[in-house]
Amino acid sequence: MLPASRDYKSLRDGFRWQLPGRYNIGFDCCDKWAAREPSRTALLIRKPSGGIESFTYGTLRDQSNRLANALIAHGIKRGDRVAIILPQVPETAVSHIAIYKLGAIAVPLASLFGIDAIAFRLENCGASAVITNSAGLAKLAEIRDRLPALKLVLCVDGQGDGAADFHATLARASSDFTPVDTAADEPALMVYTSGTTGQPKGALHAHRVLLGHFPGVEFHHEFFPQPGDRLWTPADWAWAGGLLNILLPGLTYGVPVVARKADKFDPEEAFALMAETGVRNTFIPPTALRMLRGAGKPKQKLALRTLASGGESLGAQTYEWGRSALGLTINEFYGQTECNIVLSSCGAIGISKPGAIGLPVPGHDVAVIRDDGSICEPDETGQIAVRRPDPVMFLEYWQRPDATRDKFIGDWMTTGDQGATDGEGYIRFIGRDDDVITSAGYRIGPGEIEDCLIRHPSVALAAAIGKPDELRTEIVKAFVVLKPGHAPSPALASEIQAFVRTRLSAHEYPREVAFIDEMPMTTTGKVIRRLLRERA
């Protein structure tokens, strides 16, 4: 935890990592509390029909023990990958805890992923088991023959299509289980992140990644936890932000986590949920905050103590809205799936500046560097980088030693983000130095979208770029060269959009499609995205 000081310099100077050699996320975020206070509230679930359902640590321990035993009975062992394709429901938390306790590797996948996106990730990681719902099961049915390593599918909505009933399986299993004695550096979690070319990469994290998040969580939630704190985020628990910023830290600190299954973000519903459940601490991505701002002042009385935001640039207008409408400083933070929450603001001690993404969180060494690894002078543009070793940093890209090696310049892990420091040490985000698209808080690699686009029968060539957008920061725009015999039309553009949306994801499909006669290319055959961005 952070030192007791309320002075930034003292916090930085006084912080020392004290990492255990042996550590298991599942034990720390569940069994530890269940042994002390089994009736303590862990989750507050907003039911679709209305009302709030409470899950205790005792219930989480019982169900996760049963799931761990069931997985082992089906041949799942230490180091195996188990995918979770579920929204914010209690079974998601149970699944994560069980996987960590048995020493397997959790692979969270967003429910909004389409068939192609799920297929690649499951094939790439060699998943031995999948835990999902009826919607995920329908997608899985189309690709099951492509997954030879898959031993078990559990469906929370009941048996069917080659899947066993999740709850019936747990009911038959023993509730006694001793967590595996894992090393802090042992793999626990793999989150897929999009790159600029080709398919997504699996960022493999150790059990220690959760410990590495604590200083940042405590910092941007202003010395969390405080009495009465209660967490919620609209971010999917399949993403690093929802899982490692909110769900797992909340469970580990013994702070109730509010959950709600939602297909899309609705600002009025978000205000109502926070009021009804007494949310005190929230992480809301900038796009969602802009939607809240557009809805006006909340009609309900909120109990918010802290509001954190990250994943894309916040903007001065939204920052000022937080103060005027909510009476809060929106604490902006920064990180990546590979190394999260390394920069942050903390309004409680005056560490906040509009237009800046914060100062280095105690325990993390962050700088703006040149291409040779040397540190830039103030106001000099360079690449934001994090020095290793760092407990929040990923172990490697799954089966991609080349990509892992290329991520570093010496001991600096590069982020691909351009920035500059000011005279006080605050870092300002300038932009990406590659082609990753940032839309509504999601990092989207164009490669996966382009691979999908060219599978459409009318598309000869395709390129995806990010087009600036006031609400979402960027939207995905596709430039398409058609095959002979196909003519541009609004109907064809809509058909292409739907093609990508159903195969990849609702957040990755191109919101605009432009038909062009010729794709701008280099002499080596690479798309000149800069020209397309200028055109957009």
Pairing of strands 81-85, 105-108: parallel
Tokens (6 digits) for 22: 């042996």
pTM: 0.87
Q: Quick one: average pLDDT of 299-311?
A: 94
Checking if the pLDDT of 347 tops 60, the result is yes
Q: Quick one: average pLDDT of 284-290?
A: 86
Q: Which of these three, 156, 175, 206, is where a domain ends? A: 206
Question: 420 lies in a domain?
Answer: no
Q: Quick one: average pLDDT of 162-176?
A: 98
Tell me which DSSP letter residue 40 carries: S
CA distance 108 to 136: 12
State residue 366 phi and psi, 5-degree precision. Answer: -125, 140
Degrees (nearest 5) of the Cα angle 27, 361, 379? 150
Count of CB atoms within 10 A of residue 492's CB? 18
- Are the C-beta atoms of 516 and 480 separated by less than 8 Å? yes
CA distance 163 to 133: 10
Determine the pLDDT at residue 366.
98
Per the structure, the complete domain to which residue 452 belongs is given by 437-535
State residue 500 phi and psi, 5-degree precision. Answer: -70, -40
Which of 407, 344, 342, 383 lies closest to 203 in space, CA to CA? 407
Residue ranges of alpha helices (H) inside 30-56 are 32-36
The per-residue pLDDT for range 32-67, each reduced to its tens digit, is: 999 999 999 999 999 988 899 999 999 999 999 999
Determine the pLDDT at residue 524.
41
Cis ω for the linkage preceding 446 (within 30 of 0): no
State residue 492 phi and psi, 5-degree precision. Answer: -70, -40
Per-residue pLDDT band at 195 (split at 50, 70, 90): low
State residue 195 phi and psi, 5-degree precision. Answer: -115, -175
Question: 182 lies in a domain?
Answer: yes
Give the H or E element holding residue 152.
strand 152-155
**6 versus 250: which is more confidently predicted?**
250
Question: 494 lies in a domain?
Answer: yes
Q: Which of these three, 180, 206, 232, is where a domain ends? A: 206
Torsion over CA: 471, 279, 244, 330 (sign): positive
Q: Please, what is the average pLDDT of the chain?
A: 93
CA distance 407 to 396: 10
Q: Which of 193-197, 247-251, 435-439 has the highest mean pLDDT?
A: 247-251
Question: 153 lies in a domain?
Answer: yes
What's the half-sphere exposure (Cβ side, CA atoms, 13 Å) at 12? Answer: 13
Tell me which DSSP letter residue 97 carries: H
Determine the pLDDT at residue 44.
98
Per-residue pLDDT band at 523 (split at 50, 70, 90): very low
Determine the pLDDT at residue 434.
66
Determine the pLDDT at residue 172.
98
User: Which residues have a Cβ under 8 Å from the Cβ of 60 and sit 6 or more positions away?
Assistant: 30, 34, 42, 43, 90, 93, 94, 97, 251
Question: 120 lies in a domain?
Answer: yes
CA distance 59 to 167: 13
The per-residue pLDDT for range 79-115, each reduced to its tens digit, is: 999 999 999 999 999 999 999 999 999 999 999 899 9
CA distance 457 to 396: 37
CATH number of the domain that 513 lies in? 3.30.300.30
Checking if the pLDDT of 526 tops 70, the result is no
CATH number of the domain that 152 lies in? 3.40.50.12780
Determine the pLDDT at residue 296.
79
User: Which residues have a Cβ under 8 Å from the Cβ of 187 and sit 6 or more positions away?
Assistant: 79, 105, 204, 205, 206, 395
Give the H or E element holding residue 443.
strand 442-444
Q: Quick one: average pLDDT of 333-361?
A: 95
Determine the pLDDT at residue 386.
98
- Kindly state the percentage of the chain with pLDDT values over 70: 97
**How many domains does the chain fold into?**
2
Question: 13 lies in a domain?
Answer: no
Question: 290 lies in a domain?
Answer: no
Determine the pLDDT at residue 198.
65
What's the half-sphere exposure (Cβ side, CA atoms, 13 Å) at 266? Answer: 8
The per-residue pLDDT for range 477-501, each reduced to its tens digit, is: 999 999 999 999 999 999 999 999 9
CA distance 395 to 380: 30
Question: 299 lies in a domain?
Answer: no
Q: Which of these three, 206, 237, 253, is where a domain ends? A: 206
CA distance 329 to 315: 13
Checking if the pLDDT of 412 tops 70, the result is yes
Determine the pLDDT at residue 433.
63
Distance of CA 479 to the CA centre of its chain: 28
State residue 498 phi and psi, 5-degree precision. Answer: -65, -35
Checking if the pLDDT of 145 tops 50, the result is yes
Determine the pLDDT at residue 140.
96
**286 versus 407: which is more confidently predicted?**
407
